[in-house]
Structure 1
């Protein structure tokens, strides 16, 4: 599924069979999730309400070109982030799972389908960190503000309603899933972050752990979602930077109004 990936070192049989990214590089990371989000370097004013009528049925006033311009890229985050080589195969290997824990199945489905805003992305970009095999995905949503706020409201319940639950993959791997709040910079009009870990022990007694930082932010009538995931730890500073830069970029593009991009 993920052509071109050559994991480093000897992989557990389970990971080799699924084609998962190697965990050796991830395990060496020392990034830790901060208790509180760092203060944003540039301050962001609350976006002014647009005087233009929405250009699309979903309520967005952005043209397709402006939506693409609002995406972040590897130049925004710097090394070692590069253009993605394809969807990370841990998505099928560990997120395609089922649980009997009530509404927590919806969370797994949303993470697997990458629809944090409650629907498919309007435009999206993926980046890989070849040093740690982490992968991030940034998307501009195609949802009305009221729908985005409903998705945010639901996500805020997850650290309580789905703080810890078990799930089973199609390969009968038993997973321990934990969900907690992720502090984000105070940007945009509404936001929610989650820190998620999915841990399991393979049939040959090897421990694996998938870590996901996810964030959703609404800026005026538009919104973006962000996922930073990998086997082992993931760089939280990349999450914070992407949210900060993404909100600045989207607010700036919205302010351009009718200016061509």
Structure 2
């Protein structure tokens, strides 16, 4: 049963130009440059091109420090001006901004079915996800159990990839008893890549385990790999099924989880509920959301309507 945030505390730790007066020695430098030009013209046997080049170099050398050319640095803008990366790089060159993260979020038009946008997605929590993983289910003990505990804890706290290191935005959609949470955020790239490796390991390390405690009694959890389009720099997807009880009645919580990495930025999709999961909506969110984020990072305006959902 989906509830407001229950008693377990969240793990989320959130988030001259100076003008110099021209000294009198500029006149001296100009006279010296003129003298070099006269000398070069009277030499007769020299190369005119070489003489002019040498003269120009001498004139530049005579400039005071304040008059030497200053290299400009480009600051990032809200539309994604490159910051600190080489031009022509195949990966996105812009840092994700708060407005960019908001622009990269999908809309109702990007999803199949009758999904409606809601305003309280940041408060979504499911009490079935509160509990402790039974270490006795694992051959290697606490090491594997901690990875499965991280899964249910971060799904409850809505910070599957940890705290963002930069801009972030989220949007929620509802269809019947199913909910889809869509997040875009910037992370430390090394940490993000580790999180992607962790997600990839879950179908093996957490294929089946037991959760106890909380309000759901003893629950059996299964984790399997899910299929989504191969987009972005990396993509991982899984489906988690949790069977337990609520008020004595048997219930099954099914969630699709998909993460797309683009450089140091990521899209996270969590979709499902007690009525099952609409896997087509997960695929649509990944397929339509990835080019939106790529457009934002490239300084382009994303298309407002889907170009086609397979």
* TM-score, reference length from structure 1: 0.71
The residue that corresponds to 1:35 in the other structure is: none
Per-residue displacement from partner, 1:206-248 (whole Å, max 9, x unpaired)? 3210000001111123211110021031110000000011111
SS of the residue 1:154 aligns to: helix
Structure 1 gaps, min length 5: 1-14, 21-49
| Aligned 8 A contact 2:82 2:94 in 1 | no
The residue that corresponds to 1:53 in the other structure is: 84
Per-residue displacement from partner, 1:152-198 (whole Å, max 9, x unpaired)? 00111111111000002322511000001011101000111010000
The residue that corresponds to 1:38 in the other structure is: none
Q: Distance in 1 between matches of 2:127 and 2:284?
A: 28
The residue that corresponds to 2:76 in the other structure is: none
The residue that corresponds to 1:105 in the other structure is: 149
The residue that corresponds to 1:167 in the other structure is: 211
Stretches (4+) displaced over 4 A: 87-90
Larger radius of gyration: 2
Structure 2 gaps, min length 5: 5-80, 86-92, 136-144, 302-310
Deviation at 1:67, TM superposition (A): 1.4
The residue that corresponds to 1:239 in the other structure is: 282
The alignment status of 1:207 with 2:250, answered yes or no, reads yes
* TM-score, reference length from structure 2: 0.61
| Aligned 8 A contact 1:123 1:140 in 2 | yes
Q: Structure 1 or 2: larger helix share?
A: 2
Aligned residues: 207
CA RMSD of aligned residues (A): 2.7
Per-residue displacement from partner, 1:125-155 (whole Å, max 9, x unpaired)? 11111xx310011111231222111100011
Q: Distance in 2 between matches of 1:196 and 1:158?
A: 10
Q: Distance in 2 between matches of 1:172 and 1:126?
A: 25
Superposition pairs of residues 187-206 of structure 1, within 5 angstroms: 187-202=231-246, 204=248, 206=249
Greater CA deviation, 63-72 or 81-90? 81-90
RCO (CA 8 Å, sep 6+): is it higher in 1 or 2?
A: 1
After superposition, the Cα gap between the structure-2 partners of 1:209 and 1:90, relative to the gap in structure 1 and judged at 3 Å, is: farther
| Aligned 8 A contact 1:123 1:141 in 2 | yes
The residue that corresponds to 1:64 in the other structure is: 98
